């Protein structure tokens, strides 16, 4: 019951939706940048042959 009431209370306005979308995009960009950073650091520190090793 309580959750149904909460859902009704937190209906987002157009402005709130726009801000949330902006935050989501910024978060996605930040995560992608973090992936790129870790990839670049791995290649630079360990060299391009990091995956090329015998099992």
By CB under 8 A, residue 17 contacts other proteins: no
Residue pair 50/42 in contact (Cβ under 8 Å)? The answer is yes
9 binds other proteins (CB under 8 A): yes
Nearer to other proteins (CB atom), residue 9 or residue 52 = 9
| CA dist list (Å): 50 to 3, 42, 44 | 50, 8, 10
Q: Which helix (H) or strand (E) holds 41?
A: helix 14-46
- Minimum CB separation from other proteins for residue 17, in Å? 11
Indicate whether 23 belongs to the interface with other proteins (CB under 8 A). yes
- Select 6 or 52, whichever has its Cβ closest to other proteins: 6
């Amino acid at each position: 019951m309580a959750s149904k009431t909460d859902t009704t209370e937190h209906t987002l306005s157009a402005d709130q939706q726009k801000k949330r979308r902006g935050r989501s995009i910024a978060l996605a960009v930040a995560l992608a940048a973090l992936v790129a950073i870790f990839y670049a650091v791995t290649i630079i520190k360990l060299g391009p042959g990091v995956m090329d090793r015998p099992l």
